[in-house]
Structure 1
Amino acid sequence: MRIVAPVLLGGLVVCAVAMVSALSGCRRDDALKIGYLGTLSGRHSDLGVAGRDGAVFAVEEINRSGGINGRPVELVVRDDQGEAEAARKAVREFVDAKVAAIVGPMTSSMAMATVPLVNESPVVMVSPTVSSNDLTGKDDNFLRVFPPSGSTARHLAAHVRQGLGLRRVAVIYDLSNRAHTEGWYHVFRRHFETLGGEVTASATFDAGVPTDFLALTDRLLATRPQGVFILAGAVDTAMICQQIRKSNPRVALLASEWSSTPELIVHGGAAVEGVTYYQNVDRTDTSPTFTAFRRAYRTRFGADPDFGAVYAYQSVQVISRGLASDPPPGGLKKAILAIGAFRGVQGDFTIDRFGDAERKPFLMTVRQGTFQRVEAQ
């Protein structure tokens, strides 16, 4: 089946029924409704807002091209507030509204809270950024365009041990998104130790509770690690890096893609220089497809797209491809899985029979206040 390339230019604005939305326009009774679920308020809202904007951008693009089989798409936006019950309430509202699909959620903890509800309904949920290994290999209504964290964790462990030559690493991770961070940590640790590395210490915190990061990082640094691996959102990662640099300006800093939003640099400044991580979006890509996407997105939102926006955009595109095949009621999942291979703005990716994505990650770092791609050693 032919893969349709994105259309990136045009000018109409789509309607959105939302708790948080800046869109306006006219509603059509025959519109296909797609829900968007993300954290739009609170500490981790940077990722949720980016995802919302990416979904908005994709829906606007689809409507400029005539909609899906001639029907306009209407984006219905809900804020999960980073709270399980708010997320479940939003999913119930989506199901009652008979949305064609749900884009989201953006964090693994919200996915763990909502997937059981989605599985009780005919609605398919396509997440842009959830990577929890707990959701891997399951035949359910949860699909994703972001690969499970196990693969990326093994890439990072190999780079730290063999590429950077580090043997001793300490780890700190946020329990507020435990479904993401804890699984990431365990896979990283197992693979790192298999390669001859040692995790000298591990520490946890909860982003919802005030934390003395200086005391926490001092305990980690007391074990004399060569690197510190931080599994947290952008703001907390930035704060942790600042405390580490007060005590040790030379230790290597490692992170996961969760923290790679502009907020990391805004709040971290010079302290996050050299932070290394793997991700699946290369902001320095100069290919014609990504350059056109970035230019159009910047015109629409006044800023470059970060990884959450790119993945949410691609989630809507996946749903659109499935709906374009005109599946019967309850048949969207089967339609998406039958397609299998999709064209992204940075290369192709696949979704397997369990709804799990596969793509090759890029090694990235923060250099001179920008995210830069580096070649893995």
Structure 2
Amino acid sequence: MKNMVIKMSLFLMISIFLLFSCDILKQKEYKIGLSINLSGTGGLSGEYIRDGAMLAVEEINQKGGINKIPLRLIIEDDKGTKEGALEADKRLIDKGVIAIIGHSQSDTTLSSYPYVMSKNILLITAFTATKKLSYIDDLFFRTSVDTVSYGNALSNHLKNKKIDSVAFIIDFTNQSFGEEFYEETKKKISIRDKIFTIKSKDINNLDEIVYEIVKMNPKAVCFLTEVIMTGILSQKLRKLGYKGEFIATIWAQTNDLLKVGGDAVEGINIISYIDSQLDNEGYKRFIDNLMKEFPKSSPARSMRSYELVYILADVLKEVKKVNSEEMKRVLLSKKFNTISGELSFDQFGDINRPVYLITIEKGRFIRKGQLF
């Protein structure tokens, strides 16, 4: 009788194993979606994100894929708009992706989030910072910090520098990010401030804003704007003689800031969770491969999507069945070794990581310290 029980138990275990194995073996490829802005305002940054994801997929497939099953990256242009993001995600889901990497802005992610969740698809990003998606038990994961962390970091910097007056320029092409960043900063520090709003697609009021800021003469100007606009505004303000501090965000942390801003952005301080001076072997290898494949790309953008693909690849190696809930289980249960260090998600799919002060010195992004 005892032998019969043992045999039945072994049979059951083998059957379950084969059931899961058959599900995995049915896979001819793993389809991962990338939903990113390639043609709207700030589309150049989207190209950098695409480069990083493509490089990671190429490397993984060259090594035999995931247990000999290749990854396939399906790319859709969300055009940097709420409507475009929703349509892009719909197309990806119709094409059978098991997860979507996206989007590059908080507003576009928020617009497509309800639909993607309703379809039970994993949505993972390294770019969306809105606090509106924090502390929710869902299928949304991110390796970026949220606007609460950014607000804490900026307020600490202002306190450290004894800055008591700031002009905030908020780009309404990513309204949630800018407004939340400002609100979270104001919760932690009392300063004299004024908000100026722009929309990158309609820049007719730039000179008016610049003149008003020079007249106000705050100790600092905080650009909650995309990289090109940050560079343009820096040039205009310096040309009119403004000598205060410039502060920007991770949104402007690409080499395009140097190209557009020139000497005007020398000394600009950037609030970012991307360490500009990583020196591990994995990061060096990433830089070498990126420059060979995409010599015009920007590492600070590309590395984030590159990491996301590798995280998904690690997850797929461990799932017992290919579905969102099983992928979520693995994401929540392990630590991931990435080129920026060890990462792990909390119960809500959010992440705790340092926020740095990065300063442009002699045309280089230099890490000056940790703010939060």
Query: TM-score surpassing 0.5?
Result: yes
Partner of 1:116: 114
Q: 2:172 aligns with which of 151, 159, 175?
A: 175
Q: 1:78 aligns with which of 62, 76, 79?
A: 76
Partner of 2:9: none
Partner of 2:189: 192
Distance 2:313 2:280 in 1: 24
Q: How far is 1:287 from its partner?
A: 2.8
Q: Aligned partner of 1:167: which letter? A: D
Matches within 5 A, 1:42-53: 42-53=40-51
Distance verdict in 2 for CA 1:117–1:337, change over 3 Å: same
1:250 equivalent to 2:243? Answer yes
Q: How far is 1:151 from its partner?
A: 0.7
Tell me, yes or no, if the aligned pair for 1:112 and 1:179 is still in contact at 8 Å: no
Q: Aligned partner of 1:250: which letter? A: K
User: What are the superposed Cα offsets for residues 65-90 of structure 1, whole Å, 9 maximum, x if unpaired?
Assistant: 21112210111001111122221111
Partner of 1:276: 269
User: What are the superposed Cα offsets for residues 71-121 of structure 1, whole Å, 9 maximum, x if unpaired?
Assistant: 101110011111222211111111111111111111111101110111101
Q: Structure 1 residues 71-80 or 302-311, which shifts more?
A: 302-311
Distance 1:376 1:349 in 2: 17
User: What are the superposed Cα offsets for residues 119-147 of structure 1, whole Å, 9 maximum, x if unpaired?
Assistant: 10121011121111111111222111111
Distance 1:243 1:271 in 2: 9
Tell me, yes or no, if the aligned pair for 2:354 and 2:370 is still in contact at 8 Å: no
Partner of 1:239: 232
Matches within 5 A, 1:96-175: 96-162=94-160, 164-175=161-172
The structure number with the bigger radius of gyration is: 2
Q: Structure 1 residues 106-115 or 350-359, which shifts more?
A: 350-359
How many percent of aligned residue pairs carry the same amino acid?
Answer: 26
For the aligned residues, what is the CA RMSD? 1.9
- The alignment covers a number of residue pairs equal to 345
Q: How far is 1:159 from its partner?
A: 1.3
Partner of 1:370: 364
User: What are the superposed Cα offsets for residues 254-291 of structure 1, whole Å, 9 maximum, x if unpaired?
Assistant: 01111111211111111111110122223333332322
Q: How far is 1:304 from its partner?
A: 5.8
Q: 1:230 aligns with which of 223, 231, 234?
A: 223
Distance 1:37 1:261 in 2: 20
Tell me, yes or no, if the aligned pair for 1:59 and 1:316 is still in contact at 8 Å: yes
1:330 equivalent to 2:324? Answer yes
Tell me, yes or no, if the aligned pair for 2:210 and 2:237 is still in contact at 8 Å: yes
Tell me, yes or no, if the aligned pair for 1:33 and 1:74 is still in contact at 8 Å: yes
Query: TM-score under structure 2 normalisation?
Result: 0.88
Distance verdict in 2 for CA 1:258–1:34, change over 3 Å: same
Distance 2:238 2:125 in 1: 35
Tell me, yes or no, if the aligned pair for 2:125 and 2:308 is still in contact at 8 Å: yes
- Secondary structure of the structure 1 residue equivalent to 2:33: strand
- Secondary structure of the structure 1 residue equivalent to 2:193: strand
1:212 equivalent to 2:205? Answer yes
Greater helix fraction, Structure 1 or Structure 2: 2
Tell me, yes or no, if the aligned pair for 1:46 and 1:261 is still in contact at 8 Å: no
User: What are the superposed Cα offsets for residues 177-210 of structure 1, whole Å, 9 maximum, x if unpaired?
Assistant: 01211111111122232xxxx1321111111213
Q: 2:335 aligns with which of 329, 341, 345?
A: 341
Q: Structure 1 residues 214-223 or 330-339, which shifts more?
A: 330-339
Distance 2:340 2:69 in 1: 28
Unaligned runs of at least 5 residues, structure 2: 1-25
Matches within 5 A, 1:286-301: 286-301=279-294
Distance 2:46 2:30 in 1: 22
- Secondary structure of the structure 1 residue equivalent to 2:369: coil
Q: Aligned partner of 1:30: which letter? A: K
Distance 2:282 2:39 in 1: 32
Tell me, yes or no, if the aligned pair for 2:287 and 2:299 is still in contact at 8 Å: no
Q: 2:303 aligns with which of 295, 303, 310?
A: 310
Unaligned runs of at least 5 residues, structure 1: 1-27
Q: 2:260 aligns with which of 263, 267, 270?
A: 267
Q: How far is 1:38 from its partner?
A: 0.6
- Secondary structure of the structure 2 residue equivalent to 1:192: coil
